[in-house]
Structure formats: C-alpha cells, structure tokens
Amino acid sequence: MRPVIGLIPLYDEDKESYWMLPGYMKVLETCGALPIMLPLTSDEAELAQSLELCDGLILTGGHDVDPLLYHEQPKATCGVLCKERDCMESWLLGKALEKKLPVFGICRGIQFMNAYLGGTLYQDLPTEYDSAVEHHMTPPYDRAAHKVTILADTVLADILGEGELPVNSYHHQAVKEVAPGVTTMAISEDGLVEAISVNGQKFAVGVQWHPEFSYENNGQSLKLVQAFVDACR
C-alpha cells in the first residue's frame, strides 16, 4: 500500500476556490505515495478524521503566516493572511508532532512550523533584511536562484550530505528567530535560515525552497521528498 500524504490546500480568495499545484502531487506519486488534498476547515472533528487517513503531512506554500501567531502586529508589508488555514495547521501540526507523524514543511510550511513552535519571522525580507541574494525569483522555478550550506550532523546532511546545495527560491517571508527545540539545518549565502528540523521527531523537516518545482531535473530535490515518503511508510 502506498503511504497516504495529506496536503494542506491552497486558497484563492478572488475565485473562492481551493486548489493545488500539481508538482506537490506529482513528486509524491513519483516517490510512491498517494497524495490527497485536505479540506480547508477549522472543525476539529473533520481535522481528526482527516488526520486518521494520513501517514504524513505536507505543509504547502501559500498565504503569509499571521504575525499574531508569534506575538507581533501585521505590518503594511505583510501579505494576505488566511486565519482559517493558520487555525487548521496549528491543530494538525500539534497532533502530528504528538503522534510523531512525519511532517514536511515547504516555503510557508517552514515558516509556519517555526512560528507555531515559538520562533519568529521576517514579515517582509525586502524591507527588513538587507541582502543582494535573490529570494523571490521569476519563472521558471526549476532552476537555482542561490546556494545554501547544509550543516553537518543534521537530518538534512544525513539525507543529502553536508556542504553547498543550489536551490530555487520564491518567498518574501523567512525564519527570523529559530524556535526552541528546533535545529537549523541549512543557511543561505546571506545568512538566512533555509531548513529546520524539530528535535525528537521521526521526520519533521521544513525547507524554504521548493522541491516540488525542481524534482524533475534536480536529483537532490527528489531525494529529499523520497526521504519524507520513506519515513511515512
């Protein structure tokens, strides 16, 4: 049986629609998993039943994380928020960590994991973090925008090896203060945290880049998602 991976849905306010980028599903299928998009809801009974179906969770990209989660007021430069999604992910992430269910956070996913666990975020890199590194690239997104350094003695080093890794990059928020109980696993050329893991978990990893965009021509992206799927088996 293929492990079932629950995906947090993306939400389009203008079209009032739930949707999903195909790369998330295709890379999971390539790695031998069965992806399902969960309903956007804060109903705990629905969330509990949804989680029972899943062998692992992917916290996808999308809306900005509400700064109230890390005890700040939203700035004018903060993007569109989705409070129901924040509520949904808080419940699911808490239960998944309690059950030691594998969790993989991508882009917003790493940001949400860090904020939920007690860390903080840059609400807007262009105005809060002086850097010449390209963190908000233009298409195509399957190419490298900058490099990160994978730190030794980390989960990510076990999967991909330590040292430099070229990554794509499409974000305007990022991890600022790392949460307690979280290990920094990769740093960008300008010093930003690019990957984290939650201590004491089987697999609870967040990355700031997008392996779902690059897995077809980047073996390291595929290897990373495969490690997550294998942890879900």
The catalytic residue positions are 107, 210, 212
Sole residue written with tokens 């882009």: 107
Structure tokens given for 65: 């994380």
Rounded Cα gap, residues 64 and 171, in angstroms:
10
Closest residue by Cα to residue 116 from 92, 143, 141: 92
Run of H or E including 28 = helix 22-30
Exposed/middle/buried for 52, CB within 10 Å: 0-12, 13-18, 19+?
Answer: exposed
Neighbouring C-beta atoms of residue 222, cutoff 10 Å: 17
